[in-house]
Structure 1
Amino acid sequence: MMRLSRTLSSGWLVAVGTTALFGTLASAPTAHAAQQLSCGQTLTTSVVLDADLLNCPGDGLVVGSAAITIDLNGHTVDGTGLGVGIRNNGFDDTTLTNSAGTPARVQEFDHGVLLNPGTSGSVVEHLTLQYNELAGVELNNADTNNRVRANAVAWQSQRGIALTGGSSGNSVTDNTVTSNQGEGVLIENSTGNRLEGNEITDSGDGGLILTGSGDNTLLTNTVTGSSDGAIVLQLASNDNLVQGNTSTQNSDAGLSVSDSTGNRILSNTLHHSGDSGIALRSAHHSTLTGNDVSANPGGIELIYSDHNLIRANIANDTTGDGITLEQSLDNTVELNQANSNDSRGIYVVGDASPGTGNRLLNNTANTNSSDGIHVSKSAHTLQSNTARDNRAWGIYADQGNTDAGGNRASGNAEAAQCSGVVCAP
């Protein structure tokens, strides 16, 4: 089988030393004496490295017993493009760490660190994983309570960190994941994991991707400069919590959800994306509350997405519409701000039969460059919305929609202020 090239694309390397980029990461010193090891050695007791392992032709080190600690002690485990830097084939409660004040590098393997099926309760911390082929750290069907924390993961030819094949109940926290040519962090067919406080920058693909993965928790991660979407939930990634994350300057949407249900998207700040701040496509029964999706090409966009709650979000200052519902039914859109957008504040388009329409309640749509609220087609409900100082209509609703009262409009360019609903001044 032809091997993929490990050569990084031009422009990926930055003119900064690894130590300067990753800083000093240290943990408590170990009581074990330093030892000189050899490439491919299987370890059954705790060890502290006292020298680098260079040009390993296969694996670097192999975990051979449970409850041991491998302390790289500031040294490098280096390969020739094959094998795994440190491999664990199912031994529990192990720790891979670095107690020194200088980086401990694992580099030039297929995988930097690989936790295979049956591994649980193990820790990967304070390591520098760089220039590996498939992933810096991968959990492959690893059992619960493995912790990947405070590592520097950069310049892999593919993914930075990956949880695959049913790796469930693990945590990935406080890692710096930089300039990997594939996904920054990938969760694939794995459930119940916690990703918190990771900084993911300049990924060659998406920043943080969930595929076929449910019941995961994504908290306070920062995603910047991805060549695709910042945070992506796709292909039956159901019932996840995505809260308090930040994205900026990514090439696609700040957060996209497709073919997935029951996700909670709460209090995220998603700015300066290449597409909408939040995009839902065939995504149902989800909750979007308290997100700030200002300063994107679009704010919140729903396409063929039904039964969602869009509540108390800020969708201002976009170059398109603040909130768009296209061919989407039975959604509640309430208490949102959709102001100062270059097109409409809120736009609803698509046929709905009686009882399946969307509900627009208590939203504010002011100073937009077109209509404040525009509802095309029929069977939707508008109540207690405010639309002021827009450059076209305050509220424009086609015939056949329900005016539930309490809508207000003033200062809009169209003298009648509203069409299809009655607006108080």
Structure 2
Amino acid sequence: MLVTAPTAQAAHLSCGQTVTTSVVLDADLLNCPGGGLVVGSSGITIDLNGHTVDGVGLDVGIRNDGFDNVTITNSSSTPARVQEFDYGVALNPGTSGNIVEELATQNNEISGIGLDNADNNNRVRNNLIDGQAQRGVTIIGGSSNNVVADNTISNNQGEGVFVQNSADNRLEGNQITGSGDAGLTLEGSSGNTLLTNTVSGSSDAAIILQLGSNDNLVQSNSSGQNADAGLTVSDSTGNRILSNTLQGSGDSGIVLQSSHGSTITGNDVGGNTGGIELSSSNNNLIKSNIANDTTGDGISLELSVNNRLELNQANRNGSHGIYVVGDAAPGAGNQLLRNTANANQSDGIAVSKSIHTIQGNTTRNNGSWGVYADPGNVDGGGNLASNNSQAAQCTGVVCTP
């Protein structure tokens, strides 16, 4: 049997009212002394119809405490604002299948839109989430399998999007600008997908994965003009960082700190203060990335072992193309294979300490050595070097023109 939602009827609502049927607002709710509207039934639609739900800095503009398949929307071409509460819209424990769309949540204290233990296909889409005193969107308390897509998230004083202890959410196609903290942060959150988001003008990194944020997919995102790194991963494992364009940041394009087993492929991290930077991070694959035109090192590894660097470009950097520092036990060295490191201000490739393998790399026109390798490293053969400032071209490995 086909079940259809009841037709929404024009309604004159009051502050704090519980809504149990589908409604279309016919007037603004202004200066609500507590909450705005409370969802009181599943399967209903609340259409703000171009009207404003306005508070005095307390409670929630529109609150759902566990009802499913509710749509909160705006059918009018006039913006529908939910403003000046603690939370603009809150989907609380047990809430599933909700849609929050076409709203403008502005000037709220804690978050424009918050999901707290809200699971299973809640969709937050096509909203303007602007000017919160703290975060734009919060996904916390074990919220899972939700989608936050195609929102404009701007000028929030904390993170643009903050995900904590929540798994398997999809954040896609959001424009995140002017955040007072990081643009998008995952904390203790695994299995999430970050896809085609654009992050710019953040006061911290564009994207942060931290404190056990494992096995996430970060793909085809872009960032620019953020105060810190394009992407920072710390104390997290198994992430896939694929085909992102992370440029113009105040730190390196990609930074891994005590993070292991990640795949970093096909990223463009040119034009930052550094390209890809690893510290105390092991067993990562770094392949086919572009780390050109930074003011520092294109790719740097410090106290990091068992990493595979393959087919990367590290050209025209202000210091080294590729720089590796730190001892490795036999069999645990980093593998530098078939990379290109040309026209860097210092060495094309510099490998101090040992035991790392250097094989099949191309280094030309660098300001110092093509390859500088301390004794004890492994010459895998096939390294090419020419027109570097040091007449011998390479030391510690044999290079041919």
Q: TM-score band (shorter)?
A: over 0.9
**2:310 is aligned with what amino acid?**
E
Shift of 1:199: 0.2
Structure-1 residue corresponding to 2:104: 128
Q: Structure 1: 5+ residue runs without aligned partners? A: 1-29
Shift of 1:120: 0.2
- Map 1:200-211 → 2, pairs under 5 A: 200-211=176-187
- Map 1:386-397 → 2, pairs under 5 A: 386-397=362-373
Instruction: Indicate yes or no: 2:332 matched with 1:356.
Output: yes
TM-score, reference length from structure 2: 0.98
Q: Give aligned-pair identity as a percent.
A: 70
Distance 1:416 1:81 in 2: 70
Structure-2 residue corresponding to 1:44: 20
**2:79 is aligned with what amino acid?**
P
- Residue 301 of structure 1 aligns to a residue whose secondary structure is strand
Distance 1:134 1:386 in 2: 52
Task: Work out whether residues 7 and 22 of structure 2, in 8 Å CA contact, stay in contact via their aligned partners in 1.
Answer: no
1:325-375 Cα distance to aligned partner (Å, 9 max, x none) = 000000000000000001000000001111111000000000000000000
Shift of 1:144: 1.0
Structure-1 residue corresponding to 2:255: 279
2:42 to 45, 66, 76: 66
Q: Structure 2: 5+ residue runs without aligned partners? A: 1-5
Structure-1 residue corresponding to 2:86: 110
Structure-2 residue corresponding to 1:57: 33
Instruction: Indicate yes or no: 2:189 matched with 1:213.
Output: yes
Structure-2 residue corresponding to 1:16: none
Task: Work out whether residues 197 and 222 of structure 2, in 8 Å CA contact, stay in contact via their aligned partners in 1.
Answer: yes
Distance 1:81 1:105 in 2: 14
1:82-133 Cα distance to aligned partner (Å, 9 max, x none) = 1100000000000000000110000000000000000000000000000000
**1:386 is aligned with what amino acid?**
T
- What is the Cα-based RMSD across aligned positions, in Å? 0.7
Instruction: Indicate yes or no: 2:42 matched with 1:87.
Output: no
Structure-1 residue corresponding to 2:3: none
Distance 2:35 2:346 in 1: 62
Distance 1:171 1:33 in 2: 28
How many residue pairs align between the two structures?
Answer: 396
Distance 2:287 2:119 in 1: 37
2:198 to 195, 200, 222: 222
Distance 2:366 2:204 in 1: 33
Shift of 1:31: 4.6
1:373 to 341, 346, 349: 349
1:248-293 Cα distance to aligned partner (Å, 9 max, x none) = 0000000010000000000000001010000000010000000000
2:298 to 322, 336, 345: 322
Instruction: Indicate yes or no: 2:111 matched with 1:154.
Output: no
Structure-2 residue corresponding to 1:399: 375
- Map 1:12-27 → 2, pairs under 5 A: none
Shift of 1:32: 2.3
Q: Which runs of 4+ in 1 moved over 6 A?
A: none
Instruction: Indicate yes or no: 2:229 matched with 1:245.
Output: no
Distance 1:295 1:283 in 2: 24
Distance 1:131 1:158 in 2: 9
Distance 2:322 2:49 in 1: 57
Task: Work out whether residues 8 and 45 of structure 2, in 8 Å CA contact, stay in contact via their aligned partners in 1.
Answer: no
TM-score, reference length from structure 1: 0.93
Distance 2:203 2:119 in 1: 31
Instruction: Indicate yes or no: 2:74 matched with 1:98.
Output: yes
Instruction: Indicate yes or no: 2:158 matched with 1:179.
Output: no
1:212-265 Cα distance to aligned partner (Å, 9 max, x none) = 000000000000000001000000000000000000000000001000000000
Structure-1 residue corresponding to 2:230: 254
Task: Work out whether residues 9 and 22 of structure 2, in 8 Å CA contact, stay in contact via their aligned partners in 1.
Answer: no
Distance 1:313 1:401 in 2: 24
Distance 2:7 2:122 in 1: 23
1:378-420 Cα distance to aligned partner (Å, 9 max, x none) = 1000100000000100001000000010000000000000000
Structure-2 residue corresponding to 1:290: 266
